[in-house]
Amino acid sequence: MAIRKTHIKELNDNKSIRTKRISSHSLTNSNKTKRIQLHFRYIRKIKYLMSNYVFNHIEDFLFQENKDILGNQYKQFKNQEMSAWEVQQTYQELFDKYHNSINTLKKQHKFKVQNKIKIEYYKKDTKYAKKGDIKSTKIVFKTTPLTRLMNWLIYIEKDKLDTVLKSYKENATIEANNKVKAFNDYLNKIRNNEKLWERIKALILMKQQRIISKVKRIIPKTGSYRKAYKENPNVTSVGSEVFIDHSNTQFKHFYKFKIAKKEILYLPLAYNQDFHNHFKNINLNANHYVSLNNKGQINIGLQETFIQTFEETISKEQVAGIDLNIKHNFCVINIDENYIEFDYDREFFKKQVNDLKAIDAIGYNKLSIENKRKLQKIVKRTESYFQYLVSEILDSLQNKAITEIVLEDLNLQKTGFKTFSEEFGVSYNRLVKILRLNQVKHWFKNQGNKRGIKVHFTSPCATSIECSVCHTIEKDNRRNQEEFKCIECGHTINADNQASFNIGNRIKLDVLRDRLHNYDEFGQCTPKIMSRDTIKRTIKSCYKQQSLLNGDPFTDCKGETNSKCVA
Ligand SMILES: [Zn+2]
């Protein structure tokens, strides 16, 4: 039996589901197979129609009343293959996905007030600049009671804006409730100023509309869906379930698959002696996910729920940029003004490399079975060592209240790793390949997500040659591996530090994040496909645009063109 632990984030609340997956035997009966394939194709089509429906009515999310109506539109998708409960669940899941993606976008597009532009000047003549020349410009934002209020209000539907107040929490401290009172008093005070209030409402609506316009259509890729064990607990209705048949000599574990209103298939499950141990704590008689995998087996995901604070932690984003390395260190992490370096156990690594070289000398094609096994062992040992290292790093970041990390979406083999390592006596490229170090970023993602940390990937383009002060992108900025020195402004810094700073900034700055990346449903970024030149041009123009924007943020708001005034 194939048992796998996977983690799925449930979208309608902050609970996560830990899923244990069981698979059926591969289907051999061709009629059954055809029937099942048809079923999942059909469900996928239904999901597709549901998703389109919600997406086409996305504006309804702006008004509470319309949103409630939209949330109840599952009945029109009634069909012969699913129970009413399953239709509702499937619809609700898609609805919640859209809702969640809107809320994520809201978090990323907060109101900020531009405080001032900080300009730094050269204090004395340097090789590159004269005293009094501009060294750097930086926009400084601040939050005010008004922006805090507005950042709360963008979560409120338009038709509730006039009446809504923050609610008091039971068991809250007096101090917390006093804060709520102060907030509500402030909100009421603003409401009494009719002209101001209308303007604020207009701003909120404009922002909400802009956020809504960024929502992406969800295209369901599979027909997986949630099956009901019992559709109605009060009725002895038939549902789908995993059960054990002790009287059967050939198979003991079965899935009763209710595939249509009056059609039930019994599928034997791939058997494993560990079955009882693995499933001891799992309720077999529960609602579960089903899907058809590409081996023609049915996967059944039985669930345990547990609380995970994925969204809750991100009240204030704390972003860390990570520059992965292998040469000088394992990675350098930038948090605010600080840089932390993590290295790996070089003695351990050297030993693995030496063992590897011994096998290498034989030549892969001539390897005996035992040597092949040895090779696998080395790879595994190294893998688990680096996985452990990743988890140590994530623990440390979690202790520093980091909620988001950014890594380069890089293929270590392709970048400048052709060089021969004196230390290990083999090229870095070869090391990366044999020891599968390209997996490192995936380990960060998987382990990070389990901890509730968002993991973004950004393009590796120009991260090591961009000056963080004047944003000049030039190869010559990095004359050697260790040192970064800007040919334009003379800014000098450790090269790895500089890279980790740039990597973090790609996500920290709204404009860069939006222009260079796509978002997944949890608001995690992956790089858009763009040419190197386009990326460089985009970065330059973003900084240029930033330094031009100045002025009173609460006057002259004209939507997109002046994005910094409300964004
Ligand atoms: Zn510079």
What is the distance in A from the centroid of ligand 1 to the CA of 118?
A: 16
Whole-number average pLDDT of the chain: 80
Residue 78 has pLDDT above 90, yes or no: yes
Q: At 315, is the pLDDT very low, low, confident or very high (cuts 50, 70, 90)?
A: very low
- Cβ neighbours of residue 436 under 8 Å, at least 6 residues apart? 379, 382, 383
The answer to whether residues 336 and 323 touch, using CB atoms and an 8 Å cutoff, is no
Share of the chain above pLDDT 90, in %: 25
The answer to whether residues 4 and 274 touch, using CB atoms and an 8 Å cutoff, is no
Residue 7 has pLDDT above 70, yes or no: no
Residue 55 confidence (pLDDT): 96
What is the distance in A from the centroid of ligand 1 to the CA of 353?
A: 39
What is the distance in A from the centroid of ligand 1 to the CA of 136?
A: 8
Q: At 11, is the pLDDT very low, low, confident or very high (cuts 50, 70, 90)?
A: very low
Residue 268 confidence (pLDDT): 83
The per-residue pLDDT for range 333-357, each reduced to its tens digit, is 998 888 888 888 888 888 888 888 8
Which conformational region is residue 363 in: left (phi greater than 0), alpha (psi within -120 to 50 degrees), or beta?
left
The answer to whether residues 411 and 461 touch, using CB atoms and an 8 Å cutoff, is no
First to last CA, the chain: 52
What is the distance in A from the centroid of ligand 1 to the CA of 465?
A: 10
Residue 317 confidence (pLDDT): 64
**Element at 341 (helix H, strand E):** strand 338-342
Residue 241's φ and ψ, nearest 5 degrees, are: -160, 160
Residue 223's φ and ψ, nearest 5 degrees, are: -95, 20
Average pLDDT, integer, range 384-409: 87
Residue 295 confidence (pLDDT): 78
What is the distance in A from the centroid of ligand 1 to the CA of 539?
A: 14
What is the distance in A from the centroid of ligand 1 to the CA of 339?
A: 19
Residue 272 confidence (pLDDT): 55
Residue 314 has pLDDT above 70, yes or no: no
Average pLDDT, integer, range 252-273: 80
d(CA 194, CA 465): 52
The per-residue pLDDT for range 516-539, each reduced to its tens digit, is 999 887 889 999 988 889 999 999
What is the distance in A from the centroid of ligand 1 to the CA of 485?
A: 8
What is the distance in A from the centroid of ligand 1 to the CA of 462?
A: 14
pTM: 0.50
The per-residue pLDDT for range 123-155, each reduced to its tens digit, is 888 777 788 888 777 777 778 888 889 989 998
Q: Which residue has the higher pLDDT, 214 or 231?
A: 214
Residue 320's φ and ψ, nearest 5 degrees, are: -115, 130
Q: At 554, is the pLDDT very low, low, confident or very high (cuts 50, 70, 90)?
A: very low
d(CA 413, CA 438): 8
Residue 559 has pLDDT above 50, yes or no: no
What is the distance in A from the centroid of ligand 1 to the CA of 523?
A: 31
- CA distances 260 to 82, 86, 315, 522, Å, are 6, 11, 44, 33
- Which stretch of 101-110, 208-217, 276-285, 307-316 has the lowest confidence by average pLDDT? 307-316
The per-residue pLDDT for range 177-187, each reduced to its tens digit, is 898 999 999 99
